[in-house]
Structure 1
Amino acid sequence: MSDTQTLIENRPPTVAALFLERVAATPAAEAYRYPVPPASGQGPDDWKSLTWAQAAERVHAIAAGLIELGVRPEERVALASATRLDWILADLGIMCAGAATTTIYPQTNAEESAFILSDSGSRVLIAENAGQLAKALEKRAELPDLHHVVVIDPDGVETGDWVLTLAELESRGAARLEKDPELIKERVGAITRDQLATLIYTSGTTGRPKGVRLPHDSWSYMAKAIAATGLISGDDVQYLWLPLAHVFGKVLTSGQIEVGHVTAVDGRVDKIIENLPVVRPTYMAAVPRIFEKVYNGVAAKAREGGAAKYRIFQWAAEVAREYAKVSQDNYRRTGTRSVPFGLAARHRVADALVYAKIREAFGGRLRACVSGSAALAPEIGYFFSGAGIHILEGYGLTESSAASFVNPGEAYRTGTVGKPLPGTEVRIADDGEILLRGPGIMQGYHKLPEKTAEVLEPDGWFHTGDIGELSPDGYLRITDRKKDLIKTSGGKYVAPAEIEGQFKAICPYVSNILVHGADRNFCTALIALDEQAIRPWAEENGLGGRTYAEIVADPATVALVDGYVQQLNEGLQRWQTIKKFRLLPRDLDVEHGEITPSLKLKRPVVEREYKHLLDEMYAGTREA
C-alpha cells in the first residue's frame, strides 16, 4: 500500500478529531488572520491573528454553548453569514458538538431562508447580524423547530429567551467547560464517520434547492486527499474570501486543518484588490469570474493609457498565451518547460513591461490559484499561466464535497480540470456523462429519496450531469452540462458554456453572456457588459456622463460588441455561430436570482426574464 493510500485509508472519522489533533500538534502556531476595520471608519484594516490554541478555546466554548442549548448529535444548526473568521469557528464548534451545519447564503431572501430552516429542521440559527435575524423573525411562526437564534454582530439586536449573542453563547459554554472539562473530547470521540456533518442546499440553477447530506467522513477524506496531492503545505498562507456557505469555500477549511497553514479570512469581495498586497498569499482559490474581471481590468487600464500602451498589452497577452501553450506542451512531452530562445526573449521583455506588475498586484508570492465552480476560458487561463499566475482548475460538486479533480501542480494543463483526487474513482458513461464514486460522495438529498435514486446508483456511482472526456493519462476535460446542451432545430448539438467561455476571452468588456438556441434554427446571445470596464471606453467615445443603460443602448457600443462577436464566429462551426445578440440594460446579479451566489448562470431565469429580447431576435424566422 502506498503512503498516499495509507494516509487516506487511516483517516480519523471526523474533521472535529483532525482539529483536536492539529491543536495538540501546533498549539502556538498561527492559524487564522482576520481584518479589524479602524474605529474611525477611515484608513486600512488592522489584521489580527489567532493561534490554533486560541481558535480551539473559542471553538470549544461555542460547542459547549450549543450543548447547553440542548443541541444533540446530528441535529442541525444553521449558519447565515458572510465569510469571516466567526463562520469557521462556529462551523467547527457545531461539528465538535456532534451536530450538523446547515449553510445559508447571506443573500438568501426571507422566504427561501425559511424553507431551508424548515426543511432541515434546524434547532438553532447562527445569524451574522440584525439583517439576518430579521429574516428569521419575519418567518418565526413558520419555524416551530427553531428554538434559538445566536447573533454574531449584536449591533441593533434585542436579546432575550429566543435571541442571544455569540459572545453570550461562548460565555455559557466556557462556564459549562469549567464544570465538565472533558465534554468536547467526549463528544468528538463519540462521533461516527457516517454521522451527518453538513447539510448544504444547492443554490440550484433550476428549481427549489435540495439539501445535500455530507457525513463527517467526507470532510475527513477531503482533508487527507487534498494534503496527499502535495498542492498545499504547512508553510502556505491562504487567502480565503469565497462564500463558506458554498461547498468550494467550505472544503478549503478542511485541507488547512490537516496541514496547519495560515488562512487569512475576509469575505468582502470589494476588498480583494486591497487585501492581496497586505495578505501576500502563497495560494488562493477563486471562481472564473474573478479572473475574468482581473483580466478585463488590466486590459481596460492599458487602453486608458493610450494606443501605444494598449498595443503593448495586446502583444504581451499573445506572448503569454504562446509561452504557456508551448511550455505546457513541452512539459507534457519531456518533463521540462523549455521554450525556443526567441519566445523566451520576448517573454522576458513582456514580463518586465506587464507580467511583473500583475504578479505584484496579487501580493508577489502567489504560487498557484485554484479555480473551480465553473469553467475558466482556456485563453484567459493561458494568459495568466504565461504571466506567472498559475491557475490550477479543479472540478467537483456539492454532492461530491467540492473537490473531485484538481490539476497536479507543475504538471497542470490549462483547459482541463486535472486528475481525480486520490481515493476518487471516475468513469465516462456511454452518453459522455461523468460518473464519480468515492468517500466524498453525498449520502443523498435530505428527505428526497426519489431525487437521490435519480443520481446515485446502489453501488455508489454518482451521476454528475456533466459531460466530459478523459485523456489517456487521466486528465479530465469538461465539455458541458448534460442538461445545458442545446439541440438546434437542425439537429445539431451546441455546448453553450464553451462558446461563452471563448467570448469572455475575446471581449474585454463582457461580464456575462448566455448563448441560446434550443429548438431554434440558429444561435443568439444575451450579453451583459462590465460597467467598470466599459465606462473608460464610453468616455473616449463621446458617451461620458451617460448611465450604464444608455451606454449599452448606444449604436456605437452595439457596433463595438458586434466586432467581438464576429471575431468569435470566425473560430466556430457554422451552426455554433451567434447570428444575433442583444445587450442587456443591466448586469445579471444574485439579487435578481439570475446568477447563483457562486456566480453560475441560472439559464432558465435569464431566458424567462429576457424572453422578449429572445423572441425579438427570432421574429420572422420559421420557428417564431
Structure 2
Amino acid sequence: MDSTFPRLLLQHADRRPTAAAMREKEYGIWQTLTWSQLAQLVERLACGLHQAGLQRGEHIVVIGTNRPRLYATMLAAQSLGAVPVPLYQDAVGAECVFPITNAEVRFAFAEDQEQVDKLLEIRPQCPLLQRVWFDDPRGLRNYSEPGLAAMDTLLQEGQAFAAANPKFFRSEVEKGSPEDVAAMFFTSGTTGNPKGVVHTHRAMVDRAMAGAEFDRLTEREEVLAYLPPAWVGQNIFSYAQWLACGYVVNCPESPATVMIDLKEIGPTYYFAPPRVFEGLLTTVMIRMEDAGALKRAVFHRFMNLARRVGPALMDRKPVGAGDRLLYRLGDLMVYGPLRNNLGFSRVRVAYTAGEAIGPDLFTFYRSIGINLKQLYGSTETAVFVCLQPDNQVRADTVGVPCRGVEIKLADNGEILVRSPGLLKGYYKNPQATAEVLTPDGWYHTSDAGFIDATGHLKIIDRVKDVGRIKGGANDGAMFAPKYVENKLKFFPHIKEAVAYGDGREKVCVMINIDFEAVGNWAERRNLPYAGYTDLAQKREVYELVKDCVEKVNADLATDEKLAGSQISRFLVLHKELDADDGELTRTNKVRRGYIADKYQVLVDALYGGKSEQYVETQVKFEDGRTGKVSATLQIMDAKTFAPVRAAA
C-alpha cells in the first residue's frame, strides 16, 4: 500500500466517519472516538503545531501511556511532515536526555504531571527543548514554567487557525510522501547510548499490511493498547496496523486496570511479550492452589488432557473420538471459563514476541484453545519478518518468512534478512548503520538460527551469547543461555533467571523468585517472611527452586545439543532485577553482561565452590531515592543427569 499514516486516517474518516476508531476508559466508562472525530482532533493539533513553528522533518517527543490524544499528536506531527519520537513512560529523566538532545527536539508532549516533572527536571541538559504540552492537567494547575501549556490550549489555537484556513490540513497531508520518515524508535542501549531507528511510512505501512494479510485482519478486530508506545511492537499493532486495517484500539484506564479492561473489551487480536503470558499463568496457578481439593483435581485432570490433545485439535490434526468428547467437556468446565477469566474468550489471533517463550508456557495457552502464535522481528525490521501460519504452529520455531522477506544464514549461523520493512538507518550514526546493513540490502539480526526442513525459522539465541562449555565432562558442548533461562521461567515460582557458562566447565544461574507466587506458597505453609529479601533466602524456598532447576536439567538431558547446558549450581538473588537499576532493558530483557559485572562477587562465588556469599547492592526506589539492600545469599548445588541418547 503506497500511502502515509495521515492519508490512511483521512481515508477511514471519509469512508467510515461514524465508525469507532478508538476507545478510552475514563472514570470507569468507555468513551468512543469515531474516525471523523479523530481526524478533526488531528487537524486541530496539526494546525496548532504549525502555528507553534513545527517544521517538516523536525523531531517531536511523545511520552506517556496509550492515550487517544497522544496517538492524535503523532498523527498531527506526521501530517506536517515532522517525525514523532515516542519515549518510554517509565524511563527515568536521565534516560531521556540522550534521545532528546540527539534528535534536537524542541517540542514535547507529556501525558501527565509525572512526565512533565521528568521533562522539566532534565530541561537544563536539553537546551533546545522549548515547549512542553500536557494532556492530563491534574496536579499541574499551579505550574508556571515558561513554554509549558495544556494540550487544550494548543487545540483552541489550532481550531481558530483551521477555521480561517480550512484547506491547510489536507494540503499538508498531501505533501507527504511514503518515502518520508514516519517515526524514530530508540533501541534499549544495552551496550552504550541508544540508537535512533529511522523508519519511513512505506516501510511501516508495508509491514503492517503484510501482517494483516497473513492473518486476514479486518476493521472488525478489537485491540487493547496497553504496552509502551515507545516499543515498536506496540506501535505496529496499535498504530500502524490500526491505521492500515481500520480496527478499534482500546486504551485502558491505567496500568492497574489492564486485566479488568482486558475482560471487558474481549480483544480479537492480542499481542504480548512472554513476560505478560508468564504473569497471567502465574495468577491462574496461584488461584488454583487456593481452590478446594475437588476443584484442583478437576482442573489438573482436564489440563493433563488439554496438554495431550489440545494443540493437535488447534492444528486440526486427527484426535480420537473419546478424547475429542472429553475435551469438549473440559472446554465446558475448565478451558472456556479459564479463557473468559483471562479475557481471551474472543481472541482469534494472539501473538508473542520480543524474546523467546518457554515451550511449556506456549503449549499451555494453545492447549486451552487460544490461538497463540510466535512471530520474529525487531525494531530494525518494523517487526514482521516471520509469522506462524494457522495449523503450522510449533513451540520451537518462529514461523515462515512473510510477504516480501528473504532470509539467508551467514557462515557463523547468523540470520540475515532482506525486507521492505528494514530501517532507513540509525539516526546520525552511519557507522552503526554500516555494521548492520550490507550494501546489497541485507540486515544483520545478530540472532543465531536456521531454517528447518519444513521451511520454518528456528532461533537458538543471540550470536554473541551462544557459547561453549570449556573443560570438565561437557567440554565443547553448546551453551545457549536464553534457552536455559526460558525453561526456568516457565515455572510460576521463577520470575527471572540469568545463566552463565560460556568458556566455563559448568553452568550456573542467578534466579529471581516471583514474589507474589512464592509469597502465596509460603503463606499457605505458614512460613513467615519480612519481605522479598527474607523470603528469597528461606531454605524452603531454595528447595522449591531446586526442584524447578532439576526438572529443567532432566528436560535438557533429552536434548542432544544442549544436554551439556544443565545447571550445576544456583542462587536466589536478594532483590528483583529492575530496569531502574540498569539490570533490565525497558522492554524487560536481561542485561546479562551488566549483571555479571555488577554481581561479579556472586559469579565468583558460584564458580568458586562457596556455599554462601555476602552481597550489598545499591537500589533506586520509585520516588527517586536510593538505598542499599544486603544479604548473605545461599548457594546450592543441583542434580544433573546423564544425556539420554536417542534410540538407534
Name the SS for the 1:467 alignment partner: strand
Distance 1:285 1:308 in 2: 34
Q: Distance in 2 between matches of 1:381 and 1:499?
A: 15
* Deviation (angstroms), 1:577: 0.6
Shift of 1:492: 2.8
What's the offset of the Cα at 1:473? Answer: 4.0
Distance 2:566 2:45 in 1: 56
Mapped pair 1:552 → 2:536: yes
Does 2:264 match 1:278? yes
Amino acid in the other structure paired with 2:607: Y
* Stretch moving more, 308-317 or 221-230: 308-317
1:326 aligns with 2:287: no
**Aligned: 1:440 with 2:421:** yes
1:348 offset after TM fit, Å? 3.0
- Matched position secondary structure for 2:586: coil
Aligned residue number for residue 57 of structure 1: 40
Q: Which residue in the other structure is 2:381 paired with? A: 400
Corresponding residue for 2:553? 569
- Alpha-carbon distance, 1:307 to partner: 5.1
Assess if the C-alpha contact under 8 Å between 1:234 and 1:259 holds in 2: yes
Q: How does 1:374-523 map to 2 (within 5 A)?
A: 374-490=355-471, 491-505=476-490, 507-523=491-507
Structure 1 residue identity aligned to 2:341: A
Q: Is the 8 A contact 2:465 2:481 kept in 1?
A: yes
**Counterpart amino acid of 1:234?**
E
Q: Which amino acid aligns with 1:32?
A: M
Q: Kindly indicate whether residue 213 of structure 2 is the aligned counterpart of residue 228 of structure 1.
A: yes
Amino acid at match of 2:467: I
Provide the secondary structure at the position in 2 that maps to 1:67: helix
Q: Give the partner amino acid of 1:301.
A: R
Secondary structure at the counterpart of residue 172 of structure 1: helix
Q: 1:600: how far off?
A: 1.6
**Aligned counterpart for 2:524 among listed residues 540, 552, 559:** 540
Q: 2 CA distance for matches of 1:480 and 1:186?
A: 48
Alpha-carbon offset, residue 311 of structure 1: 4.5
- What is the aligned partner in structure 2 of residue 46 from structure 1? 29
- When residues 60 and 597 of structure 1 are mapped into structure 2, their CA distance, relative to the original with a 3 A threshold, is same
Q: 1:111 — aligned with what?
A: 94
- Post-superposition offset of 1:241: 0.9
TM-aligned CA distance change 1:204 to 1:313, over 3 Å: farther
Indicate the residue corresponding to 1:141 in structure 2.
Answer: 124
Distance 2:55 2:428 in 1: 20
* In 2, Cα distance between equivalents of 1:233 and 1:480: 34
- 1:150–1:223 Cα change, 3 Å: same
Q: Give secondary structure in 1 for the equivalent of 2:407.
A: strand
What SS does structure 2 have at the residue aligned with 1:102? strand
Q: Which moved more, 1:542-551 or 1:251-260?
A: 542-551
**Secondary structure, counterpart of 1:101 in structure 2:** strand
Amino acid at match of 1:73: R
- 1:242 maps to a residue whose letter is L
Post-superposition shift, 1:569? 0.5
Stretches of structure 1 that go unaligned for 5 or more consecutive residues are 1-10, 38-44
Identity of aligned residues (%): 30
- Alignment correspondent of 2:638: none
Relative distance call for 1:535 and 1:620 in structure 2 (3 A) is closer
Query: Is the contact between residue 277 and residue 362 of structure 1 (CA under 8 Å) also seen in structure 2?
Result: yes
2:594 counterpart of 1:605: yes
Partners of 2:175 and 2:534 lie apart in 1 by 62
- Provide, for residues 488-522 of structure 1, a one-character-per-residue CA deviation record: whole Å limited to 9, x for no partner: 323332111111222223x2211111111122210
Q: Give, in angstroms, the shift of residue 415 of structure 1.
A: 3.0
Give distance in 1, aligned partners of 2:181 and 2:451.
33
Aligned CA distance change for structure 1 residues 294 and 162 (closer, same or farther; 3 Å)? same
Contact 1:393–1:406 (CA<8 Å) still a contact in 2?
yes
Deviation at 1:32, TM superposition (A): 0.7
Task: Output the amino acid matched with 1:31.
Answer: A
3-state secondary structure, aligned to 1:460: coil
- Give yes or no for contact 1:95–1:101 (8 Å, CA) kept in 2: yes
**What is the CA-CA distance between 1:449 and the residue it aligns to?**
0.8
Distance 1:591 1:470, change over 3 A: same
Query: Aligned AA for 1:480?
Result: D
- Secondary structure, aligned partner of 1:484: coil
Which of residues 556, 570, 580 in structure 1 aligns to 2:569?
Answer: 580
**CA deviation profile, 1:85-122 (whole Å, cap 9, x unmatched):** 22211111111121001121112222221111000111
> SS at the partner of 2:415?
strand
SS of equivalent to 2:459? strand
Aligned to 1:350: 330
CA distance in 1, matches of 2:207, 2:6: 13
2:246 counterpart of 1:256? no
Task: Report SS of the residue matched to 2:13.
Answer: helix
CA distance in 2, matches of 1:269, 1:414: 29
Shift, 1:78, TM fit: 0.6
Aligned length: 598
Q: Which residue of 1 aligns with 2:340?
A: 360
| Alignment partner, residue 319 of structure 2 | 339
Does the CA contact (< 8 Å) of 1:14 and 1:193 recur in 2?
yes
- Does 1:14 find its partner at 2:13? no
Superposition deviation, residue 257 in structure 1: 1.5
In the alignment, structure 1 residue 191 sits paired with structure 2 residue 176: yes
- Corresponding residue for residue 40 of structure 1: none
Amino acid at match of 1:407: Q
Quote how far apart the aligned CAs of 1:568 are.
0.9
Native 8 Å contact 1:594 1:602 kept in 2:
yes
Amino acid at match of 1:213: V
Which of 235, 251, 266 is the aligned partner of 2:252?
Answer: 266
Q: Does 1:85 align with 2:106?
A: no
What letter matches 2:436 in structure 1? Answer: V
Matches within 5 A, 1:296-311: 296-306=282-292, 309-311=295-297
Q: What SS does the aligned partner of 1:199 have?
A: strand
For residue 286 of structure 1, report the CA deviation from its aligned partner. 0.7
Counterpart code for 1:86: R
Question: How far apart, CA to CA, are the structure 1 residues paired with 2:533 and 2:145?
Answer: 47
Alpha-carbon distance in structure 2 between the residues aligned to 1:203 and 1:540: 40
* Helix, strand or coil at the partner of 2:133: strand
Specify the alignment match of 2:155 in structure 1: 170
- Alpha-carbon distance in structure 2 between the residues aligned to 1:305 and 1:564: 22
Give the secondary-structure state (helix, strand or coil) at the position aligned to 1:434.
Answer: strand
Structure 1, 569-578 or 64-73: larger mean CA deviation: 569-578
Q: How much does 1:545 deviate?
A: 5.0
Moved more, 261-270 or 216-225: 261-270
Q: Deviations over 1:445-469 (max 9, x none)?
A: 1111111111100111100111122
- 2-structure distance, mates of 1:149, 1:448: 27
CA distance in 1, matches of 2:279, 2:139: 36
The CA distance in 2 between the partners of 1:448 and 1:204, in whole Å, is 14
Opposite residue 606 of structure 2, the aligned amino acid is M
1:41 aligns with none
Distance 1:202 1:539 in 2: 41
Per the normalisation by structure 2, the TM-score is: 0.88
Moved more, 11-20 or 262-271: 262-271
Question: What RMSD in Å do the two structures reach over aligned CA positions?
Answer: 2.0
